[in-house]
Every structure is written in structure tokens, then in C-alpha cells.
Amino acid sequence: MKILIVVSILLFVVVHNARAQYSQANTPEISSHTIQNPIISDSLAEISDTVKGPWDHLTIYSDSRIDTLLKIKKEESIRKGGIDGFRLQLFQGSKDEAYQIKSNFLKKYPNYQVYVLFQTPDFKVRVGDFRNRTETIHLKYSIEKDFPNPFIVEDVINFPELEQKEEQ
């Protein structure tokens, strides 16, 4: 009988402590200053102002070195003239053939950028500015019937165009 009473009391204490920890973890009363994230655009800030949810009380503390690293990455991208990404290489060979393949590609797929570049001793025809491999694979399989054996290469791609928000 004593064991049953001790186990009951122990179970009550464990359940009570678990409830207390849960309620303390979910209280919105966190007093501290909020650090503005420079990455969040104005449009996202407007959206976050209108959306109210369980994270209204969230405060993010970040090390100032993170901002320094972001600044270095931005400067490096500007220096390189683009960002790291992927392209499809369609051809490697002579200049005349390279420009012929470029014009054939643009006739069939006018929505993509085509680049002809010279790397000694060959001209190369590369297509697209893709930030991830998945997008590149999708294009690869869709053009294989017209341009056999394209392959994915890592390259410095142009900065993506940002959509302009219409002002009302």
C-alpha cells in the first residue's frame, strides 16, 4: 500500500512539473530588444505586420559577425559579376558550329538565355541561369530530344531579376 501511495505522489509531481515547464516555455512575456534583419524585404515586413500568430513574441538575437559575413558574400558576388549556379552545356567545338547551335536553340526555346564563350581551344554553348540543380535537370530532360547529350555545369550565373511590386 505504501508503494502505491509513493508512486501516486511521484506521478503527480512529475505531471505537475511538466505542466509548469510547458506554460513557462509558451509565455509571450519576453522582454528584450528586437534586432532588425536586413535580409527581410519591405514587402515581407508588410506581410509580417498583418499576420498575427504564435510568434508575435519571438526575439532573435544574432551575432554581429553574421551581418559581416553577409556583407562579404554580397561584395564577392558583385566582384564576380554574378552568383554561383548552374547552366546546361549543349556544345563544345568550333565557332561556326557554336553560333549555329545557339540560333537553333533560340528558335525552339526563346525564353532562355544562351551564352557562347571561348575557353581555349574551344567555343562552348551554355544555356540558362539556374540557382539549383533541380531546375537545370528539368530543362535538360525537356530539350534532350532536340539537343542530345546536354550536361550540367557549375558556373557563375547572372543575378536573378527581382520582381517589382506594383504600387497602388
Domains of the chain and any CATH numbers? 83-157 (3.30.70.1070)
In a 3-state reduction of DSSP, which class is residue 125? Answer: strand
Distances (CA, A) of 117 to 18, 91, 93, 98, 152: 65, 11, 11, 9, 16
For the cut 50, the answer to whether the pLDDT of residue 31 exceeds it is: no
- The answer to whether 86 and 153 have CB atoms below 8 angstroms apart is yes
d(CA 146, CA 127): 14
Check: CB of residue 153 under 8 Å from CB of residue 126: yes
3-class SS of residue 105: helix
Which residues neighbour 62 within 8 Å (Cβ) at sequence distance 6 or greater? 35, 37
Query: What is this structure's pTM?
Result: 0.56
4-21 average pLDDT score: 71
pLDDT-derived band at 115 (thresholds 50, 70, 90) equals very high
pLDDT for 53 equals 64
Q: In the predicted model, what is the mean pLDDT of residues 130-142? A: 92
- How far apart CA 146 and CA 124 sit, in angstroms, is 17
Average pLDDT over residues 39-55: 52
Q: Is the pLDDT of residue 109 over 70?
A: yes
pLDDT band at residue 30 using 50, 70 and 90 as cut-offs: very low
Q: Is the dihedral of CA 128, 134, 137, 138 positive or negative?
A: negative
- pLDDT of amino acid 13: 74
